[in-house]
């Protein structure tokens, strides 16, 4: 079988001027008996070789759905991809056949999930599950797959890997289980790793270990990574760029340092202000008032306007475009400049 | 560090308390505008389900037969004459006569009463046992729960038919009413476990609810909390289980009567008639087929009714 | 694993004593004349009376006497001595002849349930809400709602007597063909339950997170279903089928009675009809043991299949 028939070229052969992964104007709906929920409304982001993009947002903002659309593992129905492109090495994944997409999964783009306990099959040993990818996709023998599984478990720093290979998922601690999950995703040396809230289900101390592991692996294996999270604290040390999602849109996009320094969207600003700061005493933590929007009835104009402290009539009437603020920053806010200036004088 | 969900959650509570809270529920795709009640949803589903209407009609029909059999059949089911043995339809006897020369149709109509009586009273008794046991186990927990749960396990481990045979063998004497009572009690003694488990788990859920904690803080005693606050909220799932159980109790009664250890003549029971019809099926099949159809339709009606209601309340798998 | 089996074993022993005590107490305790109770409304000969008095130690009285008799009964039961029926035949021998037939019938019924129930259940689970799914759901509801005392005689009449597709009765030394129709009738209830259980289980597992993981590994859909989903969803089904085998062996009273199959259920059926008390007690005791042991076997099987229980 020619496994890499669709994408024979190595990562460096990305088309000139193009990105490794480029999501363009993606629209996804969920059609249920209750009505149509517009989950993704024109998301665009890109990923270059060797970088880490953090996708930030509340649950329901569409960050996981976008990732599942990239992987091609959305349940259709209820999900329907209305329009858009997902270019990987210049080819639109959405135009490929199901068989071609299957070849991409795991080999080119791999994914790890939030809750490793339910994401791993409870009735097979972990070594078997890691090796399954290699046996099924690479035609490896049982023995070879087993040896490679031990190597992978060593790689993600599971102690006594050779001894634990026959254990079942429930016999591992939460952190170790997530390491198994990571080892499984690395089996075929993917070029892109999507990590969907990889540390949410874990203890705080374990969270840091897993994030460090992911950052190290990304560097050592020269992968690109999309890190999906709702936790601003997780992002800072690991990501190069941040895309903030709200109601199925990217509302702000910037490199990590400038976004932390001066957010240019009221939503991002609100998020940053809700983090307790070490350097300010007696501060009053602010929260964002109101609730996330109902995706069956997204507010007119800017979807954030009912909760926005900067709201004007124009926000209710006109959907804001991405405003380019120089050095690659964008913000989907009519008053992006003002918000950024406010933030930087804070 | 920051956590979006907690920010949203605290906001969320504030909004619920305040008068100007935004409609819509956070983080949930596909939530309708106004939260509807579970019962309202269930009723809307049920109304559109033809199986619900068919089974309900059948149940009402059988209930009417049990209450006023003379409205459905003009002949006396006990007026039998061997001269009419296996005679064809005539007069009110639309299905003809059986081996004993009794009106098959009249006997089947009059058979509804015993069946329904056993079914209803067994289900009622079952319900009482199940609510008491399930409530005590679920509410008090600890060793009471441990003991009662073991008892449930053991009773559940007893094969129903075998145990009913043994139990009913004890009551070999007594009039028709004694037998009726014996069958009811035996079925209830053996059949309460499933319902008790259902009550127990819904009591455990209800116990954790805020309104129970509130009642406790207001100084309500155990019995008041149990019967006034928890019971009404744990009853619905038990009633669904009992509707299905009612169907099985009717089937069980017929089976026991069929074996000759349930109801006995002169009580008219479908099980007795099926047994009698079976023996002479080569001469005439109608005495077998007619009471069989009555029994099967009745049992089916209750089971389908219970099934439809359960599906409506628990749409998880559709 | 070991502790789990030990606990189940203890539970079984407890259930064994519980049920046999109940069986025994109900049959013998507090009767005016226990011998007459055993014999029902039949007259009892002096010879029978003497045998029963000696056999059940009816000369010992009071609560002590009762427990003395009970333990005697249990001792005999464990040793395989079941006594004699009212007609003077050894109950052990009756059962020895009856068991092979009953086991054969139960296996046919189980095969029917697996062949049709599990297969259709898997298909219905995968294609949920399809026409196939909805029609099998309705069909199984019909089967579940029709009591065996209706199904067995009607099948016998229509398929056996009227259409003559099958022999209507089996008689002594039944052939496989003669057992086929009764087996289908007996298995139909298990079939319907197995189908529904399999369907629910497959549908639930198809939505499990590990299926999404398997998909993102780039596995074929065929493999995801046949290896990952089936392995998980068949665990409860196999457990059910194990319990059901015990049920089928102890619950074939109606089917064996109607089709005249000389199995254990048939003997019980006849014992009830002829009011042969000792035979009823003997057979019921053995059936209860069979039922309890099969439950234990199933629990162990469950532990073998599900690693989450194996390493408890």
- Is there a contact between C311 and A113 if contact means CB atoms under 8 Å apart? no
pLDDT of residue C27: 64
Helix (H) or strand (E) holding A92: strand A91-92
Contact in structure between B206 and B234 (CB atoms under 8 Å): yes
Nearest residue of A to residue B10, measured between CA atoms: A287
Average pLDDT for B15-42: 43
- Is there a contact between A293 and B24 if contact means CB atoms under 8 Å apart? yes
Query: Looking at CA atoms only, how far is residue B175 from chain C in angstroms?
Result: 15
Pick from C145, C280, C285 the residue to mutate for testing the B interface (most B CBs within 10 Å).
Answer: C145
In this predicted structure, which of A70-84, A104-118, B6-20 has the lowest mean pLDDT? B6-20
Residues whose CB is less than 8 angstroms from the CB of residue A132 and which lie 6 or more positions away in sequence, other chains included: A124, A145, C217, C219
Q: Residue B59 — very low, low, confident or very high, per pLDDT cuts 50/70/90?
A: very high
Nearest residue of C to residue B308, measured between CA atoms: C141
- Is there a contact between A119 and C213 if contact means CB atoms under 8 Å apart? yes
Q: Is the pLDDT of residue B11 over 60?
A: no
Find the CB nearest B162 among C18, C200, C287: C287
CA Rg value for chain B? 25
Find the CB nearest A123 among C212, C216, C306: C306
Q: Is the pLDDT of residue B318 over 50?
A: no
pLDDT of residue B209: 76
Query: Looking at CA atoms only, how far is residue C287 from chain A in angstroms?
Result: 34
Verdict on whether the full-model pTM lies above 0.95? no
ipTM > 0.85 for the complex: no
- Look up residue A182 and give its two tokens: 């990571």
Pick from C1, C203, C210 the residue to mutate for testing the A interface (most A CBs within 10 Å).
Answer: C210
Instruction: Report the mean per-residue pLDDT for chain B.
Output: 77
pLDDT of residue C17: 82
Residue A204: C-alpha distances to residues A116, A211, B309 (Å): 16, 11, 45
Q: Is the pLDDT of residue B61 over 90?
A: yes
Say how far apart CA C196 and CA C190 lie, in whole Å.
Answer: 10
In this predicted structure, which of A219-228, B55-64, C47-56 has the lowest mean pLDDT? C47-56
Q: Is the pLDDT of residue A279 over 70?
A: no
Query: Looking at CA atoms only, how far is residue C132 from chain A in angstroms?
Result: 19
Q: When comparing pLDDT for A87 and A274, which is higher? A: A87
> Which residues from B are below 8 Å from A295, CB to CB?
29-30
- Is there a contact between A119 and C311 if contact means CB atoms under 8 Å apart? no
Q: Residue B124 — very low, low, confident or very high, per pLDDT cuts 50/70/90?
A: very high
Beta bridge partners of A46: A22
pLDDT digits (tens, 9 = 90+) for A219-275: 888 899 999 988 887 787 888 899 999 888 888 888 888 888 888 888 888 888 777
Q: Residue B303 — very low, low, confident or very high, per pLDDT cuts 50/70/90?
A: confident
Q: When comparing pLDDT for B19 and C62, which is higher? A: C62
Query: Looking at CA atoms only, how far is residue A170 from chain C in angstroms?
Result: 7
Q: Is the pLDDT of residue B122 over 90?
A: yes
In this predicted structure, which of B34-43, B135-144, C286-295 has the lowest mean pLDDT? B34-43
In this predicted structure, which of A20-24, B134-138, B286-290, C62-66 has the lowest mean pLDDT? C62-66
Q: What are phi and psi of B185, to 5 degrees?
A: -65, -45
Say how far apart CA A49 and CA A218 lie, in whole Å.
Answer: 10
Of A190, A189, A172, nearest to A180 by C-alpha is A172
Average pLDDT for A104-126: 88
- Is there a contact between C147 and B255 if contact means CB atoms under 8 Å apart? yes
Instruction: Report the mean per-residue pLDDT for chain A.
Output: 83
In this predicted structure, which of A162-171, A324-333, B7-16, B68-77 has the lowest mean pLDDT? B7-16
Q: Residue B173 — very low, low, confident or very high, per pLDDT cuts 50/70/90?
A: low
Query: Looking at CA atoms only, how far is residue A122 from chain C in angstroms?
Result: 7
Pick from A201, A270, A290 the residue to mutate for testing the B interface (most B CBs within 10 Å).
Answer: A290
- Is there a contact between B15 and A230 if contact means CB atoms under 8 Å apart? no
- The residue with tokens 């999900």 is A79
In this predicted structure, which of A173-182, B4-13, B194-203 has the lowest mean pLDDT? B4-13
Distance of CA A150 to the CA centre of its chain: 27
Contact in structure between A127 and A148 (CB atoms under 8 Å): no
Q: Residue B123 — very low, low, confident or very high, per pLDDT cuts 50/70/90?
A: very high
DSSP class of residue A322 equals P
CB of B79 within 8 Å of a chain A CB? The answer is no
pLDDT of residue C34: 59
> Which residues from C are below 8 Å from A168, CB to CB?
307-308, 311
Distance of CA A278 to the CA centre of its chain: 28
pLDDT of residue A140: 84
- The residue with tokens 């690479």 is A138
Average pLDDT for A284-297: 76
pLDDT digits (tens, 9 = 90+) for C187-228: 998 899 899 899 989 988 888 889 989 989 888 888 998 888
**Which percentage of chain A shows pLDDT scores above 70?**
91
CB of B247 within 8 Å of a chain C CB? The answer is yes
pLDDT of residue B250: 92
Pick the CATH number of C103-305 from 2.60.120.200, 1.10.3720.10, 3.40.640.10, 3.40.30.10: 1.10.3720.10
Q: Is the pLDDT of residue A330 over 90?
A: no
Nearest residue of B to residue A234, measured between CA atoms: B1
Nearest residue of C to residue A120, measured between CA atoms: C210
Q: Which chains touch A (3 or more CB pairs under 8 A)?
A: B, C
pLDDT digits (tens, 9 = 90+) for C259-281: 888 888 888 878 877 777 778 77
Which segments of B73-192 does DSSP mark as H helices, in order?
104-140, 142-156, 160-170, 176-191
pLDDT digits (tens, 9 = 90+) for A23-39: 888 898 888 777 888 88
Average pLDDT for C20-33: 64
> Which residues from C are below 8 Å from B251, CB to CB?
147, 149
Average pLDDT for C137-159: 87
Say how far apart CA C203 and CA C233 lie, in whole Å.
Answer: 9
Q: When comparing pLDDT for A299 and A9, which is higher? A: A299
Task: Give chain B's count of helices (H) and strands (E).
Answer: 14, 0
pLDDT of residue B63: 92
Beta bridge partners of B103: B97
Q: Residue B172 — very low, low, confident or very high, per pLDDT cuts 50/70/90?
A: low
pLDDT of residue A282: 60
- Is there a contact between A30 and B29 if contact means CB atoms under 8 Å apart? yes
- Is there a contact between A291 and B24 if contact means CB atoms under 8 Å apart? yes
pLDDT digits (tens, 9 = 90+) for C111-147: 999 999 899 999 998 888 888 988 998 888 888 888 8
Average pLDDT for B31-40: 52
* Cα–Cα–Cα angle for C136, C137, C139, rounded to 5 degrees: 60
pLDDT digits (tens, 9 = 90+) for C244-258: 887 787 768 888 888
- Tell me what percent of chain C is helix, strand and coil, each rounded to the nearest 5: 80, 0, 20
- The residue with tokens 């947002």 is A57
Instruction: Report the mean per-residue pLDDT for chain C.
Output: 81
pLDDT digits (tens, 9 = 90+) for B15-27: 333 333 333 333 3
Find the CB nearest A291 among B5, B12, B30: B12
Q: Which chains touch C (3 or more CB pairs under 8 A)?
A: A, B
Q: Is the pLDDT of residue C35 over 80?
A: no
- Is there a contact between B3 and A230 if contact means CB atoms under 8 Å apart? yes
């Amino acid at each position: 079988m020619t496994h890499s028939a669709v994408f024979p070229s190595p990562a460096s052969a990305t088309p000139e001027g193009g990105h490794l992964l480029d999501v363009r104007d993606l629209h996804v709906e969920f059609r249920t008996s209750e009505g149509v929920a517009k989950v993704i409304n024109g998301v665009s982001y890109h990923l270059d070789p060797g970088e880490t993009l953090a996708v930030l947002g509340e649950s329901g903002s569409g960050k996981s759905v976008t990732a599942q659309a990239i992987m091609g593992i959305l349940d259709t129905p209820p999900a329907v991809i209305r329009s858009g492109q997902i270019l990987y090495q210049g080819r639109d994944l959405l135009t490929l056949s199901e068989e071609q997409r299957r070849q991409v999964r795991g080999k080119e783009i791999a994914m790890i999930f939030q809750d490793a306990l339910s994401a791993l099959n409870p009735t097979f040993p972990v070594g078997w599950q890691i090796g399954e990818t290699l046996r099924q996709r690479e035609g490896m023998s049982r023995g070879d797959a087993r040896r490679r599984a031990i190597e992978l478990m060593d790689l993600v720093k599971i102690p006594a890997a050779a001894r634990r290979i026959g254990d079942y998922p429930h016999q591992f601690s939460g952190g170790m289980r997530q390491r198994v999950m990571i080892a499984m995703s690395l089996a075929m040396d993917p070029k892109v790793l999507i990590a969907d809230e990889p540390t949410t289900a874990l203890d705080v101390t374990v969270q840091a270990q897993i994030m460090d592991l992911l950052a190290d692996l990304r560097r050592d294996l020269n992968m690109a990574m999309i890190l999906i999270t709702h936790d601003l604290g997780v992002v800072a040390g690991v990501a190069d760029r941040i895309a903030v999602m709200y109601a199925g849109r990217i509302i702000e996009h910037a490199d990590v340092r400038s976004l932390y320094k001066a957010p240019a969207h009221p939503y991002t600003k609100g998020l940053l202000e809700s983090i307790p700061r070490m350097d300010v005493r007696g501060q009053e933590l602010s929260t964002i008032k109101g609730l996330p929007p109902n995706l069956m009835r997204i507010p007119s104009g800017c979807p954030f306007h009912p909760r926005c402290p900067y709201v004007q009539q124009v926000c209710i009437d006109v959907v804001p475009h991405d405003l380019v603020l120089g050095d690659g920053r964008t913000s989907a806010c009519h008053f992006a400049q003002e918000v950024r200036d406010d933030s930087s004088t804070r | 560090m920051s956590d979006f969900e907690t920010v949203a959650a605290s906001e969320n509570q504030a909004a619920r308390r305040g008068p100007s809270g935004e409609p819509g529920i956070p983080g949930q795709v596909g939530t309708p505008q106004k939260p509807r009640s579970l019962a309202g949803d269930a009723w809307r589903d049920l109304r559109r389900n033809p199986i619900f209407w068919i089974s309900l009609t059948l149940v009402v029909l059988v209930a009417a037969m049990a209450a006023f059999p003379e409205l459905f059949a003009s002949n006396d089911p006990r007026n039998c004459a061997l001269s009419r043995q296996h005679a064809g339809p005539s007069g009110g006897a639309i299905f003809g006569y059986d081996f004993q020369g009794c009106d098959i149709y009249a006997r089947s109509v009059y058979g509804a009463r015993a069946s329904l009586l056993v079914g209803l009273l067994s289900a009622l008794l079952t319900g009482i046992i199940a609510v008491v046991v399930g409530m005590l186990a679920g509410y008090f927990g600890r060793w009471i729960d441990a003991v009662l749960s073991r008892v449930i396990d053991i009773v559940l481990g007893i094969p129903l038919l075998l145990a009913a045979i043994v139990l009913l063998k004890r009551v070999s004497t007594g009039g028709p009413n004694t037998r009726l009572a014996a069958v009811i009690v035996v079925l209830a003694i053996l059949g309460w476990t499933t319902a008790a488990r259902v009550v127990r788990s819904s009591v455990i859920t209800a116990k954790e609810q805020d309104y129970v904690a509130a009642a406790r803080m207001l100084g309500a005693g155990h019995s008041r909390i149990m019967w006034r606050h928890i019971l009404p909220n744990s009853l619905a799932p038990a009633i669904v289980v009992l509707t299905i159980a009612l169907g099985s109790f009717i089937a069980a009664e017929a089976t026991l009567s069929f074996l000759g250890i349930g109801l006995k003549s002169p009580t008219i029971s479908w099980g007795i008639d099926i047994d009698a019809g079976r023996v002479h099926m080569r001469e005439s099949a109608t005495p077998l087929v007619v009471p069989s159809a009555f029994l099967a339709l009745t049992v089916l009606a209750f089971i389908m009714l219970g099934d439809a209601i359960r599906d409506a309340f628990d749409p998880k798998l559709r | 694993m070991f502790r789990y089996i030990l606990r189940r074993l203890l539970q079984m022993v407890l259930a064994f004593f519980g049920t046999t005590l109940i069986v025994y107490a109900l049959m013998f305790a507090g009767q005016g004349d226990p011998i007459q109770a055993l014999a029902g409304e039949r007259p009892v000969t002096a010879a029978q009376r003497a045998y029963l008095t000696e056999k059940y130690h009816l000369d010992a009285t009071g609560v002590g006497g009762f427990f003395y008799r009970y333990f005697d009964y249990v001792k005999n039961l464990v040793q395989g001595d079941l006594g004699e029926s009212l007609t003077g035949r050894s109950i052990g021998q009756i059962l020895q002849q009856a068991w092979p037939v009953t086991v054969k019938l139960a296996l046919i019924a189980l095969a029917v349930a697996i062949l049709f129930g599990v297969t259709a259940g898997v298909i219905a689970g995968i294609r949920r809400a399809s026409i196939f799914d909805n029609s099998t759901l309705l069909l199984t509801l019909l089967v579940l709602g029709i009591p065996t005392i209706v199904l067995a005689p009607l099948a016998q009449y229509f398929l056996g007597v009227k259409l003559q597709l099958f022999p209507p009765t089996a008689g002594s030394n039944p052939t496989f063909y003669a057992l086929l129709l009764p087996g289908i009738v007996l298995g139909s209830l298990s079939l319907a339950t197995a189908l529904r259980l399999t369907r629910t289980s497959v549908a639930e597992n198809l939505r499990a997170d590990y299926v999404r993981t398997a998909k993102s590994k780039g596995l074929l859909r065929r493999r995801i279903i046949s290896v990952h989903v089936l392995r998980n969803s068949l665990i409860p089904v196999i457990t059910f089928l194990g319990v059901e085998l015990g049920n089928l062996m102890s619950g074939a009273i109606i089917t064996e009675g109607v089709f005249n199959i000389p199995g254990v259920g048939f003997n019980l059926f006849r014992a009830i009809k002829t009011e042969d008390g000792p035979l009823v007690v003997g057979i019921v005791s053995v059936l209860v043991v069979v039922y309890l042991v099969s439950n234990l076997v199933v629990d162990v099987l469950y532990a073998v299949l599900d690693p989450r229980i194996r390493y408890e």
